[in-house]
């Protein structure tokens, strides 16, 4: 793990850097499962205010560019009128290649804001 950390520090090729980060993440997850099986899964410290909510890829939509170019996503925590969004069905896979969502895919939608764009929430 020490060699991997040192390699991450000096790597200049992005593809190799990303692969090394994935390997480090897998090592940490395995150690976490082995050493701390009864503890909640570790969440990396965030540097911005955030909100996460569940979402589901409901259906694939055709567009002028071709079939299945858009995906309709239903956000379970949103108000009824604003629950569905449509975005290009183009995601980045673990290997950096382009992938698409299948209907029914479960998603974790995370929204982040700049600290300067937030105010204390009234009680």
Residue 14, domain member (yes or no)? yes
Q: Do residues 56 and 28 both lie within one domain?
A: no
pLDDT single digits (tens) 25-77: 888 888 888 888 777 666 666 788 888 889 999 999 987 777 778 999 999 98
Residue 61, domain member (yes or no)? yes
User: What's the pLDDT band for 97 if we cut at 50, 70, 90?
Assistant: confident
The encoded tokens of residue 12 equal 């200049």
Measure CA 53 to chain center: 11
Please report the sign of the dihedral spanned by the C-alpha atoms of residue 104, residue 81, residue 123, residue 111: positive
Q: Do residues 94 and 54 both lie within one domain?
A: yes
% pLDDT > 70, the chain: 95
Q: Do residues 71 and 18 both lie within one domain?
A: no
CA nearest to 60, candidates 73, 71, 49, 51: 71
∠ CA 41-42-48 to the nearest 5 degrees? 130
Residue 120, domain member (yes or no)? no
Counting the structural domains of the chain, the total is: 2
What is the pLDDT averaged over residues 10-32? 88
- Helix (H, G, I), strand (E, B), or coil: what is residue 116? helix
Q: Do residues 55 and 29 both lie within one domain?
A: no
User: pTM of the entire structure?
Assistant: 0.62
What is the pLDDT averaged over residues 99-108? 94
Q: Do residues 54 and 20 both lie within one domain?
A: no
Q: Do residues 80 and 111 both lie within one domain?
A: yes
Q: Do residues 58 and 20 both lie within one domain?
A: no
Residue 25, domain member (yes or no)? yes
What is the pLDDT averaged over residues 96-100? 88
pLDDT of 86: 94
Q: What range defines the domain where residue 7 resides? A: 2-35
């Amino acid at each position: 793990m020490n060699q991997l950390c040192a390699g991450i520090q000096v790597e200049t090729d992005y593809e190799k850097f990303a692969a090394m980060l994935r390997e480090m993440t897998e090592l940490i997850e395995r150690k976490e499962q082995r050493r701390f099986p009864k503890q909640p899964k570790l969440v990396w410290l965030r540097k911005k205010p955030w909100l996460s909510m569940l979402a589901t890829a409901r259906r694939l939509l055709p567009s002028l560019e071709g079939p299945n170019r858009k995906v309709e996503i239903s956000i379970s925590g949103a108000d009824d009128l604003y629950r569905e969004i449509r975005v290009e069905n183009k995601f980045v896979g673990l290997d950096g290649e382009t992938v698409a969502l299948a209907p029914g895919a479960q998603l974790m939608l995370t929204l982040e804001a700049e600290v300067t764009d937030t105010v204390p929430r009234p009680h």
